[in-house]
């Protein structure tokens, strides 16, 4: 066991042991352990095999951002072992392994590495045939490549989304973020401070600092009720106008901040040398995190590579954790000894200056670090900590418009942000010591507060410090390779050098050719080194090369977090419960639920047939409440409709109903309905169910331009509609208590009346889709169930039957009535529908007029006609089957169905304009490829003279 005693292990609870398995073997850890820390405590250092060469890999950073420590959980692939907590009975396995982690059959790939140069796939798997890649190579390679496995049967998890608003959002709760948040909150603005770690403090929680600093800051934080701390919360992107997703477990906080302070810290960079990827070689911060957060001793015998103070502090921490420090190697030239150096020497640690690690060697199969070479001689060790420099965490700043540069004098990558609502603080802004980071946080808070309109006093402590020059490791390719730049993608120095030799000189091209930075760490450990290699190889500066574009998300995110919980929108008509009580088969039509037919599924066809016959021979009742209903009111209402629709409405008499057809500017049919003039200044207009939202918006848009004196009201939900239709419809309505005279002469076809029916105020229109005598009753929705009941009761002696959508579809098809969107497409003109009668020739203007005139001059190419299949025809084409002429497509079937009234199948179809005449025979290609010949019918299939609707 590598477990240390308290106070080491701030995150773990030693009284709560937890058992779990890794690769089938039992392991023990404590509550608060991550998978990686618990395994490390038990001496299990290998966590995965590398992507290309299947080399053993272990802890590199303890930040959970690289592929080294991704593992498979039963229901989750690619889980970050360094961040995922263990739980009782958790089964963890390694990824990218052929066989087992310990004995990976693909480890042989490591020896054939020279046959796998970069661009290998692009160069190799081109043939022999054009589709070889798709059909053969890709499936083979996919099996070899990739990381975790998705379990499609994983149990559902609950995710949710919420919204968060604040004046100042601080991302990163390290010393800079903490001081920024406190300074902002002390000025009484609303502050949210988020950090991906389970505790507040950042480096103060694991670095070698006086604990009083953190406890002092925490005490101030806790005294500020307007400062909300969100730990365990990842800020995964910056979007326009300070919109940031904060992911707290399964919850997504969609956050809007007026000001944002990014204190995202810096990313420690690995050193480049042969075998720099062996388990046992880790960044200094990883060793410190293991010790302080988890109480895990990171090794027994360590060499420390240190080119900065953090490296020296790591060495002191290792000593405190009982690790024997063989030697500290500082590649910087000898100079004045600082207090940290003196302290180390005082503890007997040998320090070698001006030297570096030249190579490392592993135990059998490279399963762990065995020794490192320094100045030509080998030193045995099982731990090498690397502290040679860092890069600012550029992801969020760059998304917010930051530009990456390189300060050659300081040897540091820099980020500059334009003046605006996003500010940088701490290491991401270049601070490299604690005092400066804290001051930088206060500076950022002052800048944010000033923008929020708060008077900010000059703080003498907050002047920026000049940055000390940093060590820059020279990168030289090892002749034997395995000097990894990108651990995720197994890329070595020479791979990147070769890419530049192949002509890929720009960083974005190098990335795409070599895949550098495309792995889970997204360049966190490779971008800076890559820029330096490309700069060196192409004779340019690092600043000129830059880094590749950083886009959201910052880190991986679960699809569930993005989806959240989503309730499907459902709209119900007022008589909904009536339909359910009548055993209707309800179907969704967009968001609406409508009766498809009434009755059991077992007798669906018979129910539909009965419903159709009821309408043709008796009387039926259809809930048409989903229809769009609009009121156009005002002195210019008639003029307004004249401009919007093709027919004349300004001269439409009060009490009359007119068909209305709407075109777009291109002259294509977009909607239809009826307009009932209730008063000089009031029209009641219907629109199709699916189009009303758009029609309503378009009406408002046009009137924003026209400024006519009209008000448009969408009554779709406010009013409900019941269509009573069939030869006995009048008998039913006359049986109801009403002040309306429903007789043929008093209430002729295409007229409308207002009045009371069964105590319900109604607007009644004599219109209909079925071709039968029809009265459409519209009433306020709260009264619709009552009206439904009254009509049903009055209809009972006459055999009234409610009917559903399928019967309605057939009834209208028998009449050849079109459905906009089903029988029309994006280019349908009124002429193609034979709707010349519906287009006013007298009006000076309506939308689409100019275009249909122009299109008429181009000539008609197709026409919508009826097709009548012989009784007993076996092969009936489906909707959208092609109509052919001379082997070429000229149109398509738009609607098809079996007409029980006629005893055969009928269809609507676009045919060549020369085939529109009655009796022409057209060829249709059925779904099975067979061609059938069908005669054209130029009129309604049923009741061609339209006598029935006017009785």
Within positions 768 to 807, which residues make up the interface with another protein, using CB under 8 A? 780-783, 785-787
Which 54-113 residues touch another protein, going by CB under 8 A? none
Closer Cβ to another protein, 496 or 758, answer by number:
758
- The reply on whether position 13 binds another protein by CB under 8 A is no
CB of 613 to another protein, least distance (A): 29
Q: Is 403 in the site for another protein (CB under 8 A)?
A: no
Give the phi and the psi of residue 107 in degrees, each rounded to 5.
Answer: -60, -20
Among residues 482, 849, 912, 925, which is the contact residue for another protein, using CB under 8 A? Answer: 849
Closer residue to another protein (CB): 228 or 885: 228
- Find the binding residues for another protein in span 163-192 (CB under 8 A): 163-165
> What's the closest the beta carbon of residue 401 comes to another protein, in angstroms?
11
Residues 553-582 that bind another protein (CB under 8 A): 565-578
Give, in degrees to the nearest 5, the angle at Cα 606 between 602 and 608.
Answer: 105
CB-nearer residue toward another protein: 252 or 429: 252
Task: Give residues 220-249 in contact with another protein (rule: CB under 8 A).
Answer: 230-233, 239-241, 243, 248-249
Report, in Å, the least distance between residue 159 CB and another protein.
9
Task: Specify the residue, 229 or 891, whose C-beta has the smaller distance to another protein.
Answer: 229
Is the Cβ of residue 755 or residue 799 nearer to another protein in the bound state? 755
624 binds another protein, rule: CB under 8 A: no
Interface with another protein in residues 669-688 (CB under 8 A): 681-682
CB of 394 to another protein, least distance (A): 22
| Residue 298 contacts residue 37 (beta carbons within 8 Å) | no
Q: What is the DSSP string of 648-699?
A: --TTPPTTBEEEEEEE-TTS-EEEEEEEEEEETTEEEEEE-TTTHHHHHHHH
> For another protein, which is the closer residue by CB, 34 or 894?
34
Residue 616 has phi, psi (to 5 degrees) of -75, -30
Which residues in the 626-655 window bind another protein by CB under 8 A? 631, 633-635
**Which three-class secondary structure state does DSSP give residue 353?**
strand
Selected range binding another protein among 107-115, 134-142, 841-849, 892-900, rule: CB under 8 A: 841-849
Q: Which position among 5, 601, 704, 888 is part of the footprint of another protein (CB under 8 A)?
A: 704
At 119 the three-state DSSP class reads coil
- 513 φ, ψ (degrees, to nearest 5): -75, -40
Q: Which tokens hold the place of 75? A: 């229901």
Secondary structure (3-state) at 122: helix
Least separation in angstroms between CB 698 and another protein: 9
Q: Give the dihedral sign, CA 510/511/512/514.
A: positive
For another protein, the closer CB: 232 or 834: 232
3-class DSSP assignment, residue 221: helix
Nearer to another protein, 614 or 758 (CB): 758
CB of 635 to another protein, least distance (A): 8
How large is the angle between the packed helices 309-320 and 284-294, nearest 10 degrees?
Answer: 40
* Contact indicator for 532, 540 with CB cutoff of 8 Å: no
Size of the site for another protein (CB under 8 A): 82
709 interacts with another protein by CB under 8 A = yes
Of these, 17, 43, 354, 761, which contacts another protein (CB under 8 A)? 761
Residue 841 engages another protein in binding (rule: CB under 8 A): no
Q: Smallest distance from the beta carbon of 679 to another protein, in angstroms?
A: 9
Q: How far is the CB of 599 from another protein (least distance, A)?
A: 21
Rounded-to-5 percentages of helix, strand, coil across the chain: 30, 30, 45
- Contacting another protein within 857-876 (CB under 8 A): 857
**692, 696, 699, 701: CA torsion to nearest 10:** -130
CB distance 381 to 398 below 8 Å:
no
Which burial class, exposed, middle or buried, applies to 519 when counting CB atoms under 10 A from its CB (0-12, 13-18, 19+)?
buried
Query: How many secondary structure helices (H) and strands (E) does the chain include?
Result: 24, 47
Q: Of the listed pieces 97-105, 157-165, 271-279, 554-562, which binds another protein according to CB under 8 A?
A: 157-165
Nearer to another protein, 606 or 680 (CB): 680
CB of 257 to another protein, least distance (A): 11
Structure tokens at 583: 């055993």
366 vs 645: CA distance, rounded Å:
79
Query: In which element (H, E) is residue 700 found?
Result: helix 692-706
Q: Of 726, 731, 723, 740, whose CA–CA distance to 787 is shortest?
A: 723
Residue 905 in the binding site for another protein (CB under 8 A): no
Question: SS3 for 304?
Answer: strand
Q: Is 309 in the site for another protein (CB under 8 A)?
A: no
Tokens of 44: 């299990």
Measured from the CB of residue 778, what is the shortest distance to another protein in angstroms?
11
- 525 near another protein, rule: CB under 8 A: no
Q: Is 756 in the site for another protein (CB under 8 A)?
A: yes
Distance between CA atoms of 712 and 941, rounded to whole angstroms? 38
Burial of 478 (0-12, 13-18, 19+ CB in 10 A): middle
From residue 118, alpha-carbon distances to 64, 274, 508 in Å are 26, 18, 15
Range in contact with another protein (rule: CB under 8 A) among 306-314, 482-490, 759-767, 828-836:
759-767
Residue 597's H or E segment, with its range, is: strand 592-598
The nearest distance, CB 921 to another protein, in angstroms, is: 36
Residue nearer to another protein on the CB measure, 408 or 577: 577
Residue 130 or 857: which CB sits closer to another protein? 857
Among 865, 839, 734, 842, which residue's Cα sits nearest to residue 795?
Answer: 734
What mask, x for binding another protein by CB under 8 A, covers residues 254 to 283?
Answer: x-x---------------------------
The single residue among 711, 822, 920, 935 that binds another protein, judged by CB under 8 A, is: 711
Q: Give 525 or 576: the residue with its C-beta nearer to another protein.
A: 576
Kindly tell me which residue out of 107, 180, 485, 715 binds another protein, with binding defined by CB under 8 A: 715
Q: Where are the alpha helices (DSSP H) in 487-569?
A: 493-501, 507-514, 527-538, 542-545, 559-563
Contact pick of 143, 156, 158, 842 for another protein (by CB under 8 A): 158
CB 677, min distance to another protein, A: 15
Question: In whole angstroms, how close is the CB of 171 to another protein at the nearest point?
Answer: 16
* Beta strand spans in 177-241 (E): 191-194, 227-230, 233-235
Q: Residue 738 CB, nearest distance to another protein (Å)?
A: 12
Contact 661, 672 (CB under 8 A): yes
Is residue 193 part of the contact set for another protein (CB under 8 A)?
Answer: no
Judged by CB, which is closer to another protein: 492, or 781? 781
Question: 949 φ, ψ to 5°?
Answer: -75, -15
Q: Which residue carries 């109801």 as its tokens?
A: 736
- CA pair distance 652, 115, nearest whole angstrom: 83
Give the position of tokens 């339209």: 946
List 822, 851, 868, 920, residue binding another protein (CB under 8 A): 851
Which of 231/923 has CB closer to another protein? Answer: 231
- Measured from the CB atom, the residue of 287 and 622 that comes closer to another protein is 622
160 binding another protein? (CB under 8 A): yes
Cα→Cα distances 71→548, 575, 832, Å: 27, 54, 62
């Amino acid at each position: 066991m590598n477990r240390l005693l308290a106070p080491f292990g701030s995150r773990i609870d030693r009284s709560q042991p937890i058992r779990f398995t890794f690769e089938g073997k039992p392991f023990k850890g404590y509550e608060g352990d991550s998978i990686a820390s618990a395994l490390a405590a038990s001496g299990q250092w290998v966590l995965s095999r590398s992507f290309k060469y299947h080399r053993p890999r272990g802890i590199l950073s303890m930040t959970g951002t690289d592929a080294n420590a991704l593992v498979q959980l039963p229901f989750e692939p690619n889980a970050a072992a360094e961040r995922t907590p263990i739980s009782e009975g958790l089964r963890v396995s390694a990824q990218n392994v052929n066989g087992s982690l310990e004995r990976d059959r693909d480890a042989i790939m490591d020896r054939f590495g020279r046959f796998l140069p970069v661009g290998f796939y692009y160069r190799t798997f081109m043939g022999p045939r054009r589709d070889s890649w798709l059909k053969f190579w890709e499936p083979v390679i996919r099996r070899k490549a990739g990381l975790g496995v998705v379990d499609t049967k994983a149990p559902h998890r609950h995710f949710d989304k919420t919204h968060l608003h604040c004046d100042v959002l601080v991302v990163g709760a390290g010393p800079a973020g903490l001081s920024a948040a406190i300074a902002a909150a002390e000025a009484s603005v609303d502050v949210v401070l988020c950090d991906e770690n389970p505790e507040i403090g950042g480096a103060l929680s694991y670095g070698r600092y006086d604990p009083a600093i953190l406890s002092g800051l925490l005490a101030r934080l806790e005294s500020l009720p307007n400062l909300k701390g969100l730990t365990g919360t990842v800020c995964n992107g910056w979007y326009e106008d300070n919109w940031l997703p904060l992911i707290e477990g399964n919850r997504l906080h969609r956050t809007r901040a007026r000001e944002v302070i990014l204190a995202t810290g810096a990313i420690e960079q690995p050193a480049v040398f042969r075998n720099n990827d062996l388990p046992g070689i880790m960044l200094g911060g990883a060793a410190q995190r293991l010790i302080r957060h988890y109480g895990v001793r990171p090794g027994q015998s360590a060499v420390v590579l240190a080119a900065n103070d953090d490296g020296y502090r790591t060495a002191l921490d290792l000593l405190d954790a009982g690790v024997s420090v063989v030697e500290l190697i500082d590649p910087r030239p000898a100079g004045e000894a600082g207090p940290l150096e003196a302290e180390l020497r005082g503890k007997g640690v040998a320090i070698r200056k001006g030297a570096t690690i030249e190579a490392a060697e592993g135990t059998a199969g490279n399963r762990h670090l065995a020794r490192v070479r320094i100045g030509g001689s080998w030193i045995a060790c099982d731990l090498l900590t690397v502290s040679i420099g860092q890069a600012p965490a550029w992801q969020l700043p760059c998304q917010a418009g930051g530009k990456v540069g390189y300060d050659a004098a300081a040897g540091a990558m820099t980020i500059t942000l334009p003046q605006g609502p996003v500010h940088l603080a701490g290491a991401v802004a270049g601070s490299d010591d604690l005092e400066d980071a804290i001051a930088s946080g206060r500076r950022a808070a002052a800048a944010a507060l000033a923008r929020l309109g708060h008077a900010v006093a000059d703080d003498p402590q907050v002047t920026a410090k000049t940055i000390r020059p940093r060590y820059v490791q020279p990168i030289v390719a090892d002749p034997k390779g395995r000097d990894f730049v990108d651990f995720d993608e197994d890329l070595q120095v020479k791979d990147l050098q070769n890419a530049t030799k192949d002509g890929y000189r720009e960083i974005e091209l190098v990335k795409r050719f070599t895949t550098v930075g495309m792995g889970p760490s997204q360049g966190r450990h490779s971008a800076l080194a890559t820029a330096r290699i490309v700069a060196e190889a192409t004779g340019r500066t690092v600043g000129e090369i830059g880094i590749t574009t950083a886009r959201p998300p910052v880190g991986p995110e679960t699809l569930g977090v993005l989806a959240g919980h989503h309730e499907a929108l459902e709209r119900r008509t007022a008589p909904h419960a009536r339909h359910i009580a009548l055993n209707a088969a309800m179907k969704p039509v967009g968001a609406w639920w409508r009766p498809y037919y009434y009755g059991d599924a077992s007798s669906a066809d018979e129910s539909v047939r009965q419903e159709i016959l009821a309408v043709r021979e008796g009387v039926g009742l259809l809930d048409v409440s989903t229809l769009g209903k609009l009121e156009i009111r005002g002195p210019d209402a008639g003029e307004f409709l004249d401009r919007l629709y093709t027919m004349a409405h300004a001269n439409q008499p009060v009490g009359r109903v007119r068909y209305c057809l709407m075109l777009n500017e291109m002259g294509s049919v977009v909607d239809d309905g009826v307009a009932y003039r209730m008063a000089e200044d009031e029209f009641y207009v219907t629109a199709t169910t699916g189009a009303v939202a758009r029609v309503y918006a378009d009406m408002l848009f046009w009137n924003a331009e026209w400024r006519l004196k009209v008000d448009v009201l969408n009554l779709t939900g406010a009013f409900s509609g019941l269509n009573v239709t069939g030869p006995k419809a009048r008998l039913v309505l006359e049986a109801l208590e009403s002040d309306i005279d429903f007789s043929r002469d008093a209430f002729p076809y295409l007229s409308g009346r207002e009045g009371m029916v069964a105590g319900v105020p109604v607007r009644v229109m004599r219109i209909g889709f079925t071709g039968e005598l029809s009265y459409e009753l519209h009433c306020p929705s709260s009264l619709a169930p009552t009206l439904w009941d009254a009509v049903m009761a009055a209809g009972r002696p006459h055999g009234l039957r409610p009917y559903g959508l399928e019967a309605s579809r057939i009834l209208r098809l028998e009449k050849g009535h079109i459905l906009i969107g089903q029988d029309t497409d994006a280019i349908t003109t009124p002429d193609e529908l034979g709707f010349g009668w519906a287009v006013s020739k007298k009006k000076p203007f309506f939308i689409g007029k100019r275009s249909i005139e122009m299109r008429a001059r181009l000539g008609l190419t197709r026409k919508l006609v009826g097709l009548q299949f012989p009784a007993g025809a076996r092969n009936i084409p489906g909707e959208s089957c092609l109509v052919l002429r001379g082997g070429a497509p000229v149109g398509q079937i738009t609607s098809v169905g079996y007409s029980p009234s006629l005893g055969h199948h009928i269809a609507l179809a676009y045919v060549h304009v020369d085939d529109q005449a009655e009796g022409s025979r057209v060829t249709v290609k059925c779904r099975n490829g067979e061609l059938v010949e069908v005669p054209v019918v130029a009129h309604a299939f049923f009741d061609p003279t339209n006598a029935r609707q006017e009785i």
